[in-house]
């Protein structure tokens, strides 16, 4: 798994994952500057190049982990330094910055 180097933004947004010469709709669950966690129906191989496309924004990188479960698999993707994510670049629907929650 990638080491978290920036705050994570919790979300629920349908995006396209392009990996291993296949495209599938996936749910983006968490995103941060250097990566994302995705919920997929189809398994995805670890170590392969991948790209997520959302509302005109695209983030390229590679799959760093894939954990299968009864409903599909949870995938972690590390973004390329050339395509980091920021809220200024793209804002997912139904997002939440945990830092904004009251204690």
Task: Identify whether 92 is part of a domain.
Answer: no
7: left (phi over 0), alpha (psi -120 to 50) or beta: beta
- How many domains, in total, are found in the chain? 1
Task: Identify whether 91 is part of a domain.
Answer: no
Q: What is the mean pLDDT of residues 85-99?
A: 81
Q: What is the CATH number of the domain that holds 27?
A: 2.40.10.220
* Per-residue tokens: 33: 């500057």
Task: Identify whether 33 is part of a domain.
Answer: yes
Q: Which residue's structure tokens are 């991948």?
A: 50
Dump pLDDT digits (tens) for 72-87.
Answer: 999 999 999 999 999 8
| Residue 37 pLDDT exceeds 90 | yes
Task: Identify whether 93 is part of a domain.
Answer: no
Task: Identify whether 25 is part of a domain.
Answer: yes
Q: What is the mean pLDDT of residues 25-45?
A: 96
* pTM of the complete model: 0.87
| DSSP class per residue in 12-68 | EEEEEEEETTEEEEEEEEEEETTEEEEEESS---TT-EEEEEETTEEEEEEEEEEEE
* Per-residue tokens: 50: 């991948």
Per-residue confidence band for 6, with pLDDT thresholds at 50, 70 and 90: confident
Domain of 40? Answer: 9-84
């Amino acid at each position: 798994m990638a080491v978290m180097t920036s705050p994570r933004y919790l979300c629920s947004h349908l995006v396209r994952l392009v990996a291993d010469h296949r495209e599938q709709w996936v749910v983006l669950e968490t995103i941060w500057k250097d990566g994302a966690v995705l919920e997929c129906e189809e398994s995805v191989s670890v170590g392969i190049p991948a790209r997520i496309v959302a509302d005109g924004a695209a983030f390229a990188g590679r799959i760093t982990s894939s954990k299968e479960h009864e409903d599909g698999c949870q995938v972690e993707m590390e973004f390329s330094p050339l395509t980091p994510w920021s809220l200024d670049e793209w804002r997912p629907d139904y997002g939440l910055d945990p830092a904004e929650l009251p204690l």
